[in-house]
Amino acid sequence: MTHGGTLNLDLHSHSTFSDGVLTPAELVLRAKSNGVSALALTDHDNVDGLAQAADAAAGHDLRFIPGVEVSATWRETTIHIVGLGVDPHNEMLRDGLRHVRSSRARRAIRIAAELDRAGIGDSLEGAYAYAENRELISRTHFARFLVSRGYAADVKSVFHHYLVPGKPGYVAHDWCAVADAVQWIRASGGLAVIAHPGRYKLTRGEMTELLETFKTAGGAGIEVITGSHSPEQYGEYARRAQEFELLASRGSDFHSPKEARVDLGQLPDLPKGLKPVWQELA
């Protein structure tokens, strides 16, 4: 995809510090060769990969934006809040993320027990074998284990048959409040952005209420162009951005060269008439 001289910003990506398969330095290199002009690393619930990514980006003349993707819960639905331009040394952010991370190990044990009940053994060790950062054990690691054992053809199809509500290996989980995630991001100097809104199983009315809660908490932006959205959803969330006067973001949510539907930087431009979140990033 060409960008006709416009900036190619990718503001959502993952490394081995969460459930991505590339190290921060490898991710930066891939972004550079894909023509990305500015990259945000937004690992789940931690900021530990940001220093490595920043160093690599400096060496490749790539603009780097320190980020994070916080797992939150709103009325029993998991909502991801991306923070952009965060300070990884901020104590309030670090304490909040530590708290969110701390429940992952216990959840993993419960997921494995549910898979056991469905006749799928050894999944706890199996998932951890894929988790380079053990603190960040995630459903993606369970998904990779299930693919390796032939339970699904690929990670994406795992999430149709396992690990989601009503399917084997699902457990309900309480992360943190949306308002807390927004507050920690703001305290560290970042902008809070609702990640991939089209992925949440919410009615239109519920989405309106979520966006009201998010705005009231100090939320600044919304992902309009993401690897998770269909072209219709680009339009739908562009309208939501305007309705709620939210800045618009664009990010691939890249995790792995083998699993990616959308590679780093390979996304349409933001629709006209929206205010890009990167204009507010110092």
Per-residue contact flags (x/-) with Mn ion for residues 37 to 76, judged by CB under 5 A:
--------------------------------x-------
Taking CB positions, which residue lies at the least distance from ligand AMP? Answer: 138
Quote the CA–CA distance of 207 and 204 in Å, as a whole number. 5
Q: Write down the least CB distance from residue 76 to ligand AMP, Å.
A: 14
CB atoms within 10 A of CB 13: 30
Quote the CA–CA distance of 193 and 100 in Å, as a whole number. 18
Query: Would you give the DSSP letter of residue 51?
Result: H
Quote the CA–CA distance of 70 and 132 in Å, as a whole number. 19
Q: Does 200 bind ligand AMP (CB under 6 A)?
A: no
Quote the CA–CA distance of 152 and 115 in Å, as a whole number. 14
Task: Enumerate residues 144-163 that contact ligand AMP by CB under 6 A.
Answer: 155-156, 159
Instruction: Tell which residue, 125, 124, 130, 129, has the closest CA to residue 111.
Output: 124
Among positions 12, 30, 44, 240, the unique one binding ligand AMP when judged by CB under 6 A: 44
User: From ligand AMP, Mn ion, none, which one binds at residue 139 (CB under 5 to 8 Å depending on kind)?
Assistant: ligand AMP
Instruction: Tell which residue, 192, 208, 216, has the closest CA to residue 281.
Output: 192
Per-residue contact flags (x/-) with Mn ion for residues 188 to 217, judged by CB under 5 A:
-------x----------------------
Quote the CA–CA distance of 243 and 129 in Å, as a whole number. 45
Q: Does 253 bind Mn ion (CB under 5 A)?
A: yes
User: From ligand AMP, Mn ion, none, which one binds at residue 156 (CB under 5 to 8 Å depending on kind)?
Assistant: ligand AMP
Binding site for Mn ion (CB under 5 A): 19, 69, 80, 195, 253
Binding site for ligand AMP (CB under 6 A): 19, 44, 71, 138-140, 155-156, 159, 255
